[in-house]
Structure 1
Amino acid sequence: MRSLSKVLRSPEVFAFCNSVFEKADMILTLGGVRKSYSTAEGPIEILKGVDLEVAAGESVALTGESGSGKSTLLHLAGGLDRADSGSVVMDGSDLALFAENERARYRRTRVGLVFQQFNLIPSLSVAANISFHAKLANRYDHAWEAQLVEKLGLEEYTARYPEQLSGGQQQRVAIGRTLAARPPLILADEPTGNLDEQTGDAVLDLMLSLARTVGSALLLVTHSTRLAARLDRTVVLRGGKIAE
């Protein structure tokens, strides 16, 4: 029988420990995720067994043809919808086990969502929109918000309302609102899709820079291979699965 010290130094134990540490570093893990939607012609399966891991602090571009299920995947990861089967695990917690109030708390405190539509609150000023989620998550930090406002170039607009801003300015407010709460995971669905190339590049620069400052993982849907190349890695959704 091998001594305990030899067992602990064995290749098998070393490999096991490595695998444990690697898994522990994963902020988001999707395993065998399936999702269908009902139509007049019957159910259509959009996701057909998706496996995906995103590490803490990592930026990942999610690409694929229109209708391939990219937005559906983000909605599942963001707790906005439930998978038919498979697991969506965020920071060690399986979202399938969450009650509705727990899912709502998850969306408030653990994940940040950035969409093309901005989803700003019309009745709130820029400053109030930016601080909204941070206050809900009990993570409001005036100094951090001031730093965000400066980096996003919004100092002159904090008292304005969304309707008084351009599309690019509104998108920067939406990004500021997400980052103000310092979520462990940021999900962005074509965040530069409504912007011209120059403004889109600037917005992505800010998102990547500030996400690194916060230490957040970023999963970003984009059709642009040029933008995708700027993230840590790219995964392709094809035929309802992640392409090999």
Structure 2
Amino acid sequence: MGPGDPLLSVRGVRKSYATPQGEISVLKGVDLSLAAGESLALLGESGSGKSTLLHLVGGLDEADDGEIAIEGAAMTKRPDAERAALRRARIGIVFQQFNLVPSLTVEDNIAFQARIAERFDAAWHDELIGRLGLGDLRSRYPEQLSGGQQQRVAIGRALAVRPRLLLADEPTGNLDEATGDDVMDLALDLVARTGCGFLMATHSTRLAARLDRRVALASGVLVST
């Protein structure tokens, strides 16, 4: 990534899906950039394509057309294995579905991705557990947790790698307002500490207002708000 280049660059991205009723075009030429140390809220109605865009940026799916690059490294037009390696090295993702490993404890679930990426930091790990209110739950398994507790573990796992780009899909959807605010504090603290980029899809205009910029998906394209 050269001086002045964005941490995340999305250019002309299109994505359609085949359905029994015919092809549905979800993204129709999305352009987006995000600088290091910047936070951006992605707003839009349910079904507007917010999750689709996050999945494409995170390399979980392939765009039909267009280009996505993270720190100058192309995420598009790469084999699945190469996209996965780039994702592990540079991206933290908070999914709507928690995707916790049932056989691992809270502590090990949080450390899982960081250990795979060889980015485990014991002090940061302990700080996350404390700030997410999971100190008394370290030895529990996902099935022993409430939905809100599982969400906090999933958020801790994404933050534990100290990603260059943090993607979050409705990260506070299963949390009460106070806990949701604490989670936002953590994410924005990571941005301030490390200069990572933060892209969050949310329905909450209140939470969106805490981020540096806001855009909305409408009719398959991004519009400023």
1:190-209 correspondence to structure 2 within 5 Å: 190-209=170-189
* Cα distance between partner residues in 1 of 2:14 and 2:42: 17
Query: Could you tell me which of 67, 77, 82 is aligned with 1:97?
Result: 77
Q: Which amino acid aligns with 1:132?
A: F
Taking the aligned partners of 1:139 and 1:177, their CA distance within structure 2 comes to 12
Q: CA deviation at 1:41?
A: 1.8
Task: Check if 1:21 corresponds to 2:3.
Answer: yes
Q: CA contact under 8 A between 1:179 and 1:214: conserved in structure 2?
A: no
Offset from partner CA, 1:148-197 (integer Å, 9 cap, x none):
22222222211111122222222221111111111100110001112222
Asked if 1:71 is matched to 2:24, the reply is no
Of 122, 132, 142, 1:152 maps to 132
Deviates more, 1:197-206 or 1:111-120: 197-206
Return the offset for 1:75.
0.5
Is the helix fraction higher in 1 or 2?
1
Asked if 1:170 is matched to 2:121, the reply is no
Partner of 1:117: 97
Aligned to 1:226: 206
Unaligned stretches of 5+ residues in structure 1: 1-19
TM-score (norm. length: structure 2): 0.94
Q: Give distance in 2, aligned partners of 1:101 and 1:137.
A: 14
Question: SS state of the match for residue 43, structure 1?
Answer: strand
Instruction: State the SS of the aligned residue for 1:97.
Output: coil
Q: Residues of 2 paired with 1:221 and 1:144: CA distance?
A: 25
Larger mean Cα displacement after TM superposition, 101-110 or 30-39: 101-110
**Bigger Rg, which one:** 1
Runs (4+) of structure 1 moved beyond 6 Å?
none
**1:58–1:217 Cα contact (<8 Å) kept:** yes
Unaligned regions of 5+ residues in structure 2, if any? none
Equivalent residue pairs, number: 223
Query: Given that residues 63 and 235 in structure 1 are in contact (C-alpha distance below 8 angstroms), is that contact kept between their aligned partners in structure 2?
Result: yes
Query: For 2:26, what is the secondary structure of its paired residue?
Result: strand
Aligned to 1:140: 120
Higher deviation after alignment, 147-156 or 178-187: 147-156
Q: Which residue type is aligned with residue 37 of structure 1?
A: Y
Structure 1: how far apart are the matches of 2:64 and 2:137? Answer: 43
Deviations 1:96-124 (A, max 9, x none): 23222111112222111102222111110
131, 137, 141: which is aligned to 1:161?
A: 141
Shift of 1:230: 0.6
The secondary structure found in structure 2 opposite 1:131 is: helix
Q: Is the 8 A contact 1:116 1:192 kept in 2?
A: no
Q: Please, what TM-score do these two structures have when normalized by structure 1?
A: 0.87
Q: How far does residue 83 in structure 1 lie from its aligned partner after superposition?
A: 0.6
Taking a change above 3 Å as real, the CA distance of residues 218 and 98 of structure 1, as seen in their structure-2 partners, is same
Alignment CA distance shift 1:153-1:195 (3 Å): closer
